[in-house]
Amino acid sequence: MTTKYSEEESDEVSRFSVSTHAEITIQIAGREGHQFIVIKEQHPSGTISPTEQAIEIPAALLPELKRAVAVLEENFGDEDEPEPRNQPPISFAHESEEEFAHILDFYNITWQYEPRTFAVEWDDEGNVAGSFTPDFYLPDHDLYIELTTAKQPLVTKKNRKVRRLREIYPEVNIKVLYAADYRKLIEKFAGSGSFQEDGAA
């Protein structure tokens, strides 16, 4: 592979051996203003195959890569464990997302948090330059939910990404919950006494 990365923007994250004749390195690298996660398999000179193979993943797809690693960890855990491992607690980006998850649980609606990242922008060379990760997916309804309770400039940016997602992936169903809609939902949920039942404020 002859791809050249900027030395100033290259940072090794991990290095480990997979055999006596090969090792894997993981780097964060930059090229022409874009960042990539580069996974290399290297065979040192003097071995049968003095070659280098590399896979580069646009940094914009990091949320999807994290999701894939979580699935791999779940499926390739210790087979000798007698009991299923407890799932790690979800780290929500905003308290409104955690509140929404409580509402879904209250109504027995199955949900997944940020399960998929969609590429929505590319540069002139075809590299992913922008992506969008909806907040929730409701598998029983095949519906993605994006909460938008932030300030107007961020709302405008999210709306643009949602429009791009609908243009590029017309088969994907997505609904945006704006601040007014979300407040009504919270008021209804709080009025039912569910927050008190769950011990929340």
Crossing angle (nearest 10°) for helices 179-191 and 95-106? 50
Answer yes or no: is 67 within a domain.
Answer: no
Question: In this structure, what CATH number is given to the domain that contains residue 135?
Answer: 3.40.960
Same domain, 190 and 137: yes
Regarding whether 108 and 190 lie in a shared domain, the answer is: yes
Structure confidence at residue 196 (pLDDT): 43
Closest among 98, 116, 58 to 189, alpha carbons compared: 98
Q: Is residue 50 part of a domain?
A: yes
Contact present, 25 and 15 (Cβ < 8 Å): yes
Higher pLDDT, 180 or 147: 147
Alpha carbon distance 127, 57 (integer Å): 9
Task: Tell me which of 141 and 72 has the higher pLDDT.
Answer: 141
Average pLDDT, the chain: 76
Residue 79 inside a domain? The answer is no
- Considering the domain architecture, whether residues 119 and 31 belong to the same structural domain is answered as no
Residue 82 is predicted with a pLDDT of 47
Residue range(s) defining the domain that contains residue 52: 6-58
Higher pLDDT, 154 or 109: 109
C-alpha R_g of the chain: 22
pLDDT in tens, 126-135: 888 889 999 9
Are 54 and 100 contained in the same domain? Answer: no
126 shares a domain with 33: no
Residue 175 belongs to a domain = yes
pLDDT, tens digit, for every residue of 91-106? 888 888 998 999 999 8
Both 102 and 52 in a single domain?
no
Place of tokens 């309770």: 149
pLDDT on residue 174: 95
10 and 98 both lie in a single domain: no
103 and 188 both lie in a single domain: yes
Q: Is residue 68 part of a domain?
A: no
Say if residue 101 is in the same domain as residue 181: yes
Is residue 117 over pLDDT 70?
yes
Number of domains, the chain:
2
